Structure 1
Amino acid sequence: MKEFKYIVLLIILCGLMITRSQAQVTLSSEDCRRLVVENNKDLKEAELRIKEAEANMKIAKKAYLPSVEASATGIYSPNLELVLGPEMMTNNLSMFATDVMMSQPIYAGGKIKAINAQAKIGQEMAGQSYELTHAEILLLADQAYWNLAAAKEAVGLSDNYLTMLTEMEDQMNAMYEVGLAPASEKLKVGVQKNQAEINLVKAKNGVEIATAYLNQLLGQELETEIILSDALIDDDHNRVNVNGGLEKALNNRNELKLAENQILLAEYDRKIARADYLPEAGVTAGYMYAYADKIGENIDPIGLVGGRVSIPVFHFGERKQKEQLAKIKKEKAQNDYSKTEDYVTLEIKQISLELEENYQQVLMSIKNVGQATESLEETKVSFDAQLNTTADVLNAQAEWQKAHFDLIIALRDYELKKTSWEKAIGALTNHNID
Structure 2
Amino acid sequence: MCAGVAMGEDAVLSPGQVVINALAYSLDLKTLDQENQAAEARVQQAKALGLPSIDLEGHAFRYEGLEDSSFGPNSIIPAIDSRYGASIGLTQPLFTGGRISGQKEGARFSRDASALGRQSATADVMLQALSVYWNWSKAYYSVKSSEAAVAWMEAHYADMQVQQNAGLVTENDALSTEVRLEQARLSLENVRGAVRLAQAQITWLTGIEWASNNIPQEAPLPVEQALDLGTDVVTEALSNRLERAARRLELKSAEEQLQVQRAGYYPQLYLTAKYEQARPNMMNIPPQDEWQDDAFAGVAVSWNILDWGLTRSKVAEAGARAEQARIRTRQTDDAIALEARQSRINLEVALRRLSVALRAEDSAKLNLRSASDLWQNGMARHSDVLDARARLTEAEYEVVAARSDVALTRAMLEKAMGTLASSDE
Q: TM-score range by the shorter chain?
A: 0.7 to 0.9
- Any conservation in 1 of the 2:145–2:393 contact (CA below 8 Å)? yes
Tell me how far 1:26 sits from its aligned partner.
4.6
1:179 pairs with one of 164, 167, 174: 167
Q: How far does residue 113 in structure 1 lie from its aligned partner after superposition?
A: 1.1
Distance in structure 1 (CA, Å) of the matches to 2:280 and 2:295 = 19
Q: Percent identity?
A: 22
Which residue pairs with 2:223 in the alignment? Answer: 236
Deviations 1:191-237 (A, max 9, x none): 2112222222222222222212212222123x742523521232233
Distance 2:10 2:392 in 1: 33
Partner residue in 1 for 2:176: 188
Q: Could you report, residue by residue, the CA deviation over 1:296-338 in whole angstroms, capped at 9, with x for unpaired residues?
A: 4734433322112334545566655544443333333222322
Of residues 82, 85, 96 in structure 2, which corresponds to 1:108?
A: 96
Q: TM-score, normalised by structure 1?
A: 0.86
Any conservation in 1 of the 2:10–2:215 contact (CA below 8 Å)? no
State how far apart, in whole Å, the 1-side matches of 2:289 and 2:8 are.
86
Aligned to 1:356: 348
Report if the CA contact (8 A) 2:99-2:260 is conserved: yes
Of 43, 58, 62, 2:44 maps to 58
Of 225-234 and 419-428, more deviation after overlay is shown by: 225-234
Written as runs of structure 1 = structure 2, the 5 A alignment for 1:10-409 is: 21=7, 26-83=12-69, 93-221=81-209, 224-225=211-212, 227-237=214-224, 239-241=226-228, 243-292=231-280, 296=288, 298-313=290-305, 322-409=314-401
Q: Alignment partner of 1:231: what SS?
A: coil
Aligned-partner Cα distance in 2 for 1:422–1:30: 15
Judging changes above 3 Å, is the alpha-carbon distance between structure 1 residues 332 and 433 closer, same or farther for their aligned structure 2 residues? same
Say whether the 8 Å CA contact 2:80–2:289 is kept in structure 1: no
Per the TM alignment, residue 28 of structure 1 is displaced from its structure 2 partner at its CA by 0.9
Question: Deviation per CA, 1:154-174, whole angstroms, max 9, x where unpaired?
Answer: 111111011111222233233
Q: CA RMSD in A?
A: 3.0
Q: Answer yes or no: is the 8 Å Cα contact 1:25–1:225 preserved in 2.
A: no
Partners of 1:107 and 1:416 in 2: how far apart?
A: 57
In the TM superposition, residue 83 of structure 1 has moved relative to its aligned partner by: 4.8
Give the secondary-structure state (helix, strand or coil) at the position aligned to 2:42.
Answer: helix
CA contact (8 A) 2:254 2:325 kept: yes
Shift of 1:115: 0.4
**CA positional deviation for 1:373:** 0.8
SS of alignment partner, residue 163 of structure 1: helix
CA distance in 2, matches of 1:26, 1:185: 42
- How far the C-alpha of 1:23 sits from its partner, in A, is 13
Aligned length: 415
Supply the distance in 1 between the matched residues of 2:23 and 2:366 (Cα, whole angstroms).
45
CA distance 1:215–1:79, change in 2 (3 Å): same
* More helix per residue: 1
CA contact (8 A) 2:138 2:404 kept: yes
Q: Is the CA contact (8 Å cut-off) linking 2:7 and 2:213 kept in structure 1?
A: no
Quote the offset at 1:67 in angstroms: 0.4
- For the 8 Å contact 2:99–2:263, the answer to whether it is kept is yes
Preserved CA contact (<8 Å) 1:118 1:265: yes
Q: C-alpha separation between the residues in 2 aligned to 1:157 and 1:248?
A: 40
Q: C-alpha distance in 2, partners of 1:195/1:315?
A: 79
**Structure 2, gaps ≥5 residues long:** none
Q: Deviation digits for residues 93-128 of structure 1, max 9, x if unmatched?
A: 211121101111122112111101111111112123
Between the aligned partners of 1:32 and 1:414, the Cα distance in structure 2 is 18
Whole-Å Cα distance in 2 between the matches of residues 347 and 172 of structure 1? 53
User: Scaled by the length of structure 2, what TM-score is found?
Assistant: 0.88
CA separation of 1:23/1:300 partners in 2, compared to 1, >3 Å: closer, same or farther?
Answer: farther
Which amino acid counterpart does residue 63 of structure 1 have in structure 2?
L
Unaligned runs of 5+ in 1: 1-18
Contact 1:277 1:319 (C-alpha < 8 Å) held by counterparts: yes
* Cα pair distance change 1:55/1:230, threshold 3 Å: same
Q: Give distance in 1, aligned partners of 2:287 and 2:9.
A: 86
Aligned mates of 1:306, 1:23 — CA distance in 2: 83
Taking structure 1 as reference, are residues 116 and 289 closer, same or farther at Cα in structure 2, changes over 3 Å only? same
